Amino acid sequence: MKKSLNKYLKLKKFFKSTVHLNHNIILHNSNWFKYLISQLEYTQNKIKSKKRKILDFGCGSGFTSLAMAEIYGHEVKGCDISPKYQDFWRLIENKYRNIEFSKNEPDNLPYKSGEFDTLMMFGVLEHVNRPHIILNEIFRILQNNSYIFIFNYPNNTALFERLIGPFILNSVKHEISMNKKYLKKLIEMHGFDVKEIWVSHFLPMQFGRSSLTRYKKLKFYLNKIMNSAVYGLIDSKLSKIFPILAQSINLCAVKRIK
């Protein structure tokens, strides 16, 4: 773990030195960074040491894509609907091997059927308004027995999702959210067998949509306070006592053989 942590920190340093990702919570919150690493480590432990063809669906800046390619040696493609990271993607592609990015519509992916044997998404599915179409498309591009990993899906019974989020500084909008039971049902009805599903008690809040955004230093320190106070203390303590309040849902599933 220590060896891989040093590699993660090296990639983080590259991100910081190359582009202005000041809004990216990964670079500023050590708890969130460790949380993300634990998810990547979980993914790697599940797929073992075999070299995989991975799609990072909704890859954003590409940090998770780069980690799986550079640290673990997988062949990774990242896709996202947003064009704002495209220049940075080109820098990554020129510097590192086994990685490729593209801007795609999520419901019409330009990949061959069965092209990938692993797909991962981090905080993505809740931001799409046609999950059935997208899950059908994901099913198409995965081989039989392929893994799909979904991380940071908002639990709609969570303390923060239901009671606090809508009233504090316009927290990030989710198109859909559901509880663990219904997320499992959604994934299974699209041809996947859920192998593990669990809740997490920590998911950082960002102030990107608030009127305080123009005060960069104030925004930064408020983020730190809220991450430690709300997620590190209130949400984590309560959700351990009452698991139904846990902030996010994660799952690992396998594509059924046709």
The pair of three-digit structure tokens given for residue 88, joined into one six-digit string? 């940075």
Q: What is the pLDDT of residues 56-101, one digit of tens each?
A: 999 998 999 999 999 999 999 999 998 888 988 999 999 998 999 9
On whether the CB atoms of residues 95 and 70 are closer than 8 A, the answer is no
Q: What CA–CA distance (Å, rounded) separates 99 from 37? A: 19
Q: Which of 45-59, 133-147, 185-199, 218-232 has the lowest mean pLDDT?
A: 218-232
Give me the pLDDT at residue 205, please.
47
- Confidence band, pLDDT 50/70/90 cuts, at residue 48: confident
- Confidence band, pLDDT 50/70/90 cuts, at residue 169: very low
Give me the pLDDT at residue 234, please.
56
pLDDT of 51 higher than 70: yes
On whether the CB atoms of residues 86 and 103 are closer than 8 A, the answer is yes
- Confidence band, pLDDT 50/70/90 cuts, at residue 40: very high
Class of 105-255 in CATH = alpha beta
The pair of three-digit structure tokens given for residue 205, joined into one six-digit string? 């809040």
| Chain CA centroid to CA 41, Å | 13
The pair of three-digit structure tokens given for residue 49, joined into one six-digit string? 């040491």
Give me the pLDDT at residue 250, please.
94
Q: Which of 31-45, 165-179, 223-237 has the lowest mean pLDDT?
A: 223-237
Q: Which of 4-8, 69-73, 167-171, 254-258 has the lowest mean pLDDT?
A: 167-171
66 or 215: which carries more pLDDT confidence?
Answer: 66
Q: What CA–CA distance (Å, rounded) separates 258 from 244? A: 34
Burial class (CB in 10 A: 0-12, 13-18, 19+), 67: buried
Give me the pLDDT at residue 11, please.
87
- Percentage of the chain exceeding pLDDT 90: 44
Q: Which of 13-17, 57-61, 90-94, 116-120 has the lowest mean pLDDT?
A: 13-17
Mean pLDDT of 175-201: 90
Give me the pLDDT at residue 10, please.
87
Q: What CA–CA distance (Å, rounded) separates 79 from 101? A: 6
Q: What is the 3-state secondary structure (H, E, C) of the chain?
A: CHHHHHHHHHHHHHHHHHCCCCCCHHHCCHHHHHHHHHHHHHHHHHHCCCCCEEEEECCCCCHHHHHHHHCCCCEEEEEECCCCCHHHHHHHHHHCCCEEEEECCCCCCCCCCCCEEEEEEECCHHHCCCHHHHHHHHHHHEEEEEEEEEEEEEECCCHHHHHHHHHCCCCCCCCCCECHHHHHHHHHCCCEEEEEEEEECCCCCCCCCCHHHHCHHHHHHHHHHHHHHHHHHHHHHHHHHCHHHCCEEEEEEEECCC
On whether the CB atoms of residues 43 and 36 are closer than 8 A, the answer is no
pLDDT of 166 higher than 60: no
Q: Which of 44-53, 73-82, 96-105, 248-257 has the lowest mean pLDDT?
A: 44-53
Mean pLDDT of 170-191: 83
Give me the pLDDT at residue 208, please.
41
Whole-model pTM: value is 0.84
87 or 213: which carries more pLDDT confidence?
Answer: 87
The pair of three-digit structure tokens given for residue 114, joined into one six-digit string? 């069965």
